[in-house]
Structure 1
């Protein structure tokens, strides 16, 4: 295992353009726990300047539902260290994006004290966020993320995604130690699928989750445009000048997706393949792969605590020299902001204490690295990464083999609208031309 030194963390972030889940989400998965914050605002009349001894309750809106239990336990640990502060963790619902959930809480006049959003959505709440520019941890960030020259959010995680594989399965299929670098074209990926199938194992399961298909898989086409960056290509989409049906990255990505569909263990009923099913199949060795991100490790370890996993990049062509064919998507995907509109001064101070606890206290650091299984975004945290997927993401970045986590730059409803379009393509209810048209129409509607 490798330590996250200051230099390594700078490298981790060197290819990340911070502007930006899903949930899973989430980048991550959709939430399974739904509760409503209670008494979030406390006694407004009793609000003082935030005395260390003032009894106060704060709420945290967590948009990484796969770590809901761990986040709740972290809140309890924090409260043990600061007995005057009570912490309640709430989550996005299965049918709501983090932005929708946060917006509904604000509309009800009862927002969370601390809200976790995808990086691209932070700016939408800039007028409601507390200025954190003077916090000590700001100097520990490997990369600054500023809005209007101010730090208004706390980077929670560095994450990445691609084709997750079970190392034991692919070692057995390849007759030795499997090297993911050997799969650097669509044709080679198809040949690997054939070998896995001949060994009597399901090559892969494609999860039908809209957040995965929309904000992660489709977004690879935004991040692999050779003549422009993600933001530049999004502007081309908005202007209606993308001509996706003739776009080489878009078509190359869908060529790979077509191969994946052909070897999908759930192709008889692709919309029935859910997050838990695909994860469990890979963890148990019933399937070799699934498309997802390093946040999946928590779910994988539930089914196989001893399992080891890695990433194969999603190829977009049959050109071995294409950078994208050897690279995984990486970005600072989740950020906390502290409410400045409804929270009392005491709640705001308590929220700041929680963020400091994550960065500077052993229990907080342990939660990030060992419990939440994320790559932390702070130079001072030098705990060893303890899971195979985080280690794999880190190694791709250190080798300069990463593309931008383009889902960080899309609107809050992108995962739902275009995730649904991708679901239709997955289920053969729409052809490539129809998919391209739906994507173009979506972007032209964005102002």
Structure 2
């Protein structure tokens, strides 16, 4: 699973975890008020969901059951549970492939009170068909170029500095000049390089195939005025190449050796204060904190790569984790489920658990500044929106095969055994091939809408 959705957290069990939660304090659940059965796919937050369920049952008398699948077994468990008469009334959906699998089970939610509480970005990321929205995104994350403010501030005091403040890094040309200058003077600065290694070990390739790739896709879709296309031209791949080259040439590792660096290796380069820039997302904070980089020294830049108009945009947002309601549940169970979800995003104690304990930035209007995760990278990313910048949207990419093929082409290019034409082929022709394969196997593809819809 990509790190842009779920942090890599050790799960001590390989079995399905079940929490059947009846009313507490001597109360008994009233079946006339309905029943909530939630199938969760995030083992790392099962204790928090259990706590929420217990709180709600105690408050309302409505029984809430939470079942959490073991890592990697969600689809298998869902298939079994959905076939039962007492099937889940709500469940997680992460990514279009899961939505396509469970499309026949999802209840339209666009007219519900809880859907109307989503903020604009949350609504935009809800899976929609023919004007009907079927999912409730509940965790927003952002990715861009993380940077060490202290390193940049120290650099700015040098005679050879090409900027006087980090605020001047607001376009690709400036980023390039700063990175190359830092690389040239790395010994004087006590650094190993300007950028972290462009790690192309399997644990780290997602940064280039699932994240950085979405920047040129966003601007190509913007040109096309669409949110989905089964074919693309790769209009902005030259700009992607420019940023990739910049990272390759200005890091601690020779380009021929990038496949030897893992995610942990690369994160350590930044966490130990040995490089200035680290392209990644807010989830990296869990590995960065409590090392050499202070929270106050963490900043985030957008993925500047030289695309016209990118200066008006901020970091990219991803809202892949969603709740869905089972349309086959009884009316009273659907009502109970929607009431439970509404309570989670409106009750102050529940909001605190979602934001502070689970660490989610929840895209509902009820989550004010007091209900945000304690993550300086999230704060840095959100600052762009507050400043009027447009959040780059993470549109759906085909599948893992497309990512793997793109990764192989990037590695061959980095090592000098392949050329950029192979990267473009994997990006453009591979896109068409994999969406055709997905349409055949899944039975559907994302429905295209106008870009600004």
TM range (shorter): 0.7 to 0.9
Q: How does 1:401-412 map to 2 (within 5 A)?
A: 401-402=389-390, 404-406=392-394, 408-412=395-399
- Corresponding residue number in structure 1 for 2:66: 87
Please identify the structure whose Cα radius of gyration is greater: 2
For normalisation by structure 1, the TM-score amounts to: 0.74
| Counterpart-to-counterpart distance in 1, 2:329 and 2:17 | 13
- Corresponding residue number in structure 1 for 2:287: 299
- Corresponding residue number in structure 2 for 1:365: 351
The answer to whether the 8 Å contact 2:39/2:78 transfers is no
| Counterpart-to-counterpart distance in 1, 2:185 and 2:358 | 32
The 3-state SS of whatever aligns with 1:418 is helix
Stretches of structure 2 that go unaligned for 5 or more consecutive residues are 22-28, 159-163, 437-453
The 3-state SS of whatever aligns with 2:285 is helix
1:138 to 101, 105, 115: 115
The answer to whether the 8 Å contact 2:142/2:381 transfers is yes
Cα 1:331–1:315 shift into 2, 3 Å: closer
| Counterpart-to-counterpart distance in 1, 2:221 and 2:326 | 41
Pair 1:380 & 2:345 matched: no
| Counterpart-to-counterpart distance in 2, 1:227 and 1:297 | 31
Residue 233 of structure 1 and its aligned partner are, at CA, apart by: 7.8
For normalisation by structure 2, the TM-score amounts to: 0.73
| Counterpart-to-counterpart distance in 1, 2:382 and 2:426 | 35
Cα 1:235–1:79 shift into 2, 3 Å: closer
Alignment deviations for residues 213-260 of structure 1 (CA, whole Å, 9 cap, x no partner): 2121122121233971474784542xxxx2x4xx4x211221221120
- Corresponding residue number in structure 2 for 1:37: 16
| Counterpart-to-counterpart distance in 1, 2:405 and 2:340 | 35
- Corresponding residue number in structure 2 for 1:288: 276
Q: Provide the aligned length of Structure 1 versus Structure 2.
A: 394
Pair 1:61 & 2:80 matched: no
Q: How does 1:40-439 map to 2 (within 5 A)?
A: 51=32, 58-62=38-42, 69=44, 71-81=45-55, 82=57, 84-90=63-69, 92-93=71-72, 102-108=74-80, 113-118=90-95, 122=99, 125-133=102-110, 135-143=112-120, 144=123, 145=126, 146-175=128-157, 178-186=165-173, 187-194=176-183, 197-198=186-187, 199-202=189-192, 203-205=194-196, 206-208=198-200, 209-225=204-220, 228-229=223-224, 231=226, 234-237=229-232, 242=233, 244=234, 247=235, 249-267=236-254, 269-301=257-289, 303=291, 306-308=294-296, 309-317=298-306, 322-325=308-311, 327-338=313-324, 340=326, 351-352=337-338, 354-384=340-370, 385=372, 386-402=374-390, 404-406=392-394, 408-413=395-400, 414-439=402-427
The 3-state SS of whatever aligns with 1:314 is coil
- Corresponding residue number in structure 1 for 2:444: none
- Corresponding residue number in structure 2 for 1:8: none
| Counterpart-to-counterpart distance in 1, 2:251 and 2:240 | 16
